[in-house]
Structure 1
């Protein structure tokens, strides 16, 4: 038999338990949202590449890379444990520019983007693919800290919200490049597990993206992308002028 005092005490105890449980759920949700920005890995698009895909991509582009005197297998071995570096700490010499036309599979494209300059590239675990309707998908972990210092120092202070140093991003939409100018029709864009509001996918925001995104590829002087698109085979199609030799030395 319970007395009135015991009933009130039980209710208070139950209420504390409920408040604690709700608090844990809220904290867990906050951790999930923020943690998904970088801790849980980017979205897996199912693209798997091999070393042979990278070799094939290099052969199609014709590019030869030399880093601090290292080439070939020596450079590949060095890359396995290469630390991230700022492009501002190195001299880059690009030469022997040639006009090239080639197609790359999703595996070759993903291999090339991940392996050609891992010490300087601003995106890790990157995957790209072309869907049957020509829509392109991209997923990676972006090094926001280095992007801000290497490419966007002039506008980094304009970002209205604080961003973590690394950020998982996923995008889907129609994208092409003509005469080095990017054109995009984004369908969706995710920061971690959080979708970007549709208002940021409207024309004004897309125009801003088209203005600043090309800095990532025009960092190579003299690079001319006449066209970059996709074909019905799910391949990326390139036509342009690219350097055949790249030499990197420390300043």
Structure 2
């Protein structure tokens, strides 16, 4: 009898370990383990190529070029509300970016202020776009969505891995989306949040992320048959950032 009790104890212990491990995996999948890998890798040359195509020159607290690049490697996250941004010398630009160049630009152009880490974007052969990153939900709420943060129907952690797939384009600064799937960590967003009404809400509020740049005019942002992102619009050529 004691032998049976001993066996039962080990079975229950093993079950507890499995359950705790599963709970940790689900929790860690929300942010600790990192976002889904789309297989997009980039180099510093991809970033320089993308920057050259946009024509933008960035100065942060008097730093530019290699000095700024070195500073960015250990830069702490900052709120856009604590800094002054001066955008100037606007020009009309038309260019294409590969998945590597787009991913490099999004990760490297403003890592101290950007709300997404380890971001990857790509265009699939059928024109569908994929995106994956760890979103800083806490900073998004305070920097861009403080007026509607309390209206979010789902409780969200401050850091959240997100993955999306679907057809997305921007015309005259207005986002149009036809999502196929959207994941918060390992959890698929419920179907009711993928319906037209919810997509309309996304199309209304998502543009705040790029229209935070005053005077930015995205005439069109789409993809081509080569799997590249195609941009046409007016963007600032000089950006100067100083602490308030």
Aligned partner (choices 215, 218, 222) of residue 225 of structure 1: 218
Within 2, Cα distance between the matches of 1:34 and 1:74?
Answer: 38
Residue 4 of structure 1 corresponds to none
Would you say how many aligned residue pairs link Structure 1 and Structure 2? 244
Aligned partner (choices 74, 82, 88) of residue 95 of structure 1: 88
Residue 3 of structure 1 corresponds to none
Q: Where in structure 1 are there 5+ consecutive unaligned residues?
A: 1-6
Q: Where in structure 2 are there 5+ consecutive unaligned residues?
A: none
Q: Is the partner of 2:157 in helix, strand or coil? A: coil
Tell which structure's C-alpha radius of gyration is larger: 1
Aligned partner (choices 212, 237, 245) of residue 230 of structure 2: 237
Aligned partner (choices 191, 194, 198) of residue 184 of structure 2: 191
| Distance apart, 1:157 and its partner CA | 1.4
Residue 169 of structure 2 corresponds to 176
Residue 140 of structure 1 corresponds to 133
Residue 120 of structure 1 corresponds to 113
Q: TM-score, normalised by structure 1?
A: 0.93
Within 2, Cα distance between the matches of 1:113 and 1:242?
Answer: 15
Within 2, Cα distance between the matches of 1:52 and 1:85?
Answer: 26
Residue 159 of structure 1 corresponds to 152
Within 1, Cα distance between the matches of 2:8 and 2:201?
Answer: 50
Aligned partner (choices 31, 48, 51) of residue 44 of structure 2: 51
- RMSD, matched Cα: 1.3
Residue 37 of structure 1 corresponds to 30
Runs of 4+ in structure 1 over 4 Å off: none
Q: Per-residue CA shift, 1:60-98, capped at 9, x if unaligned? A: 111110111111111111111111100000000001111
| Distance apart, 1:193 and its partner CA | 1.8
| Distance apart, 1:210 and its partner CA | 0.8
Aligned partner (choices 71, 75, 90) of residue 78 of structure 1: 71
Within 1, Cα distance between the matches of 2:151 and 2:11?
Answer: 41
